[in-house]
Structure formats: structure tokens, C-alpha cells
Amino acid sequence: MLHNVKGYLPTKLISYILNLQNHPKCIYFTRHGESIFNTEDRVGGDSDLSENGLKYCKFLNEFFRNEAKCEKFDQYEEEPKIFTSTLIRAKHTAGEIKLPNIQPISLKILDEINAGNLDCMTYSEIKKAFPVDYQERDNDKLRYRYPRGESYLDLIQRIEPIIFEIERSKGPVIIVNS
């Protein structure tokens, strides 16, 4: 029973609680393999995987094949689901997880924070070219919004639907994110 509920946080908590399901499941979170831009310390972008990133994909595939061999996935009502962002590095990583009849689902809401005008720059380039933005981000990462981009608060709101999707799942969920 709900009565006189007010405010952002209480309504979000109630929304989450109302969507809770009593289905035990494994939830696996993994970051994409190392990207070329990671090696260059660049923000955002959509580069593919580095050599180390490709090695990580092989390890990840072997890990999930072992999970399947140990019958960890057989105890659930649903087959595993693999969710990934739409970015090349994440799709490439998720695509290397070879589970029978399971295809990764790419979702824009799982893309990393949008760095707007600062996308593809290194932090040293940002510090030099945009010192005010660099300092504002350093002072408050949660609320700082990239010029023509997002803040972490925006990102938190954006991913809410996937939280409910994970909660409704009746099988293992694998999330490969940027």
C-alpha cells in the first residue's frame, strides 16, 4: 500500500521495488576488452579492440563456456541473455562470447557517457584546451555535464530501463559495457 509518496528518490525506490521478481539468477558484469582509445587515454570514441582486448575476449569466452559446461545455466527457466552497448569495442567483446543459440542484444542505453564536444580527446588535451571544463569535472564528476554531452546523473537515468529488464529476467544475464 502506498500513500502520499513524494520526492524523486522515494518514487524511484518504489518503482524499483514494484518491479522486483523473486527469480534467482546470476548477473555477470564485464567491461569491454581494452580498446585502442584506452591505450591512448582518450575519452569516449568508438574504436575497436587492442591486442590485449582481443586476448581478454578469448579469456571471457572460455570463462562462459566453462560456466555452461558446469551446468550453471541449465538450472534457469530462461536461456542466458547478453546485453551490450552499441559501441564497436563492446559489441566485439560480446560477440566473442560463444554460447549456443545466444546472440548479444545491443542497446543504446548501455553506451558509455556521452562526452559531447570533448569526445575522443585525451585528458591532457582537455586540460589544456578546456581548463574550466577540466576543473569543473574534477570538482564534481557526478553533476558535471560535458559540453553537448551528458552528466553521470543523465547516465543513471538513461540506464534505468535495463535495470528493470535484468530484474524481470528468469535466467542468467551477461552485461558487456563500455
In the prediction, which pLDDT does 99 show? 93
In the prediction, which pLDDT does 1 show? 67
Note whether residue 14 is domain-resident. Answer: no
Note whether residue 7 is domain-resident. Answer: no
Note whether residue 10 is domain-resident. Answer: no
Domain ranges, residue 69 = 20-177
3-state SS assignment for residue 17: helix
Q: What is the number of domains present in the chain?
A: 1
In the prediction, which pLDDT does 112 show? 94
Alpha helices in the chain (DSSP H): 8-18, 36-39, 51-69, 88-95, 123-129, 131-139, 152-168
Contact yes or no for 116/146 (Cβ under 8 A): yes
Residues of the chain with pLDDT under 70: 1, 3
Contact yes or no for 46/88 (Cβ under 8 A): yes
Contact yes or no for 132/80 (Cβ under 8 A): no
Note whether residue 8 is domain-resident. Answer: no
Please classify residue 100 by burial: count the beta carbons closer than 10 Å to its beta carbon, then call 0-12 exposed, 13-18 middle and 19+ buried: exposed
Q: What is the CATH number of the domain that holds 74?
A: 3.40.50.1240
Note whether residue 12 is domain-resident. Answer: no
Question: Vertex 60, ends 56 and 64: CA angle to 5°?
Answer: 175
Phi and psi (nearest 5°) for 173? -125, 130
In the prediction, which pLDDT does 75 show? 85
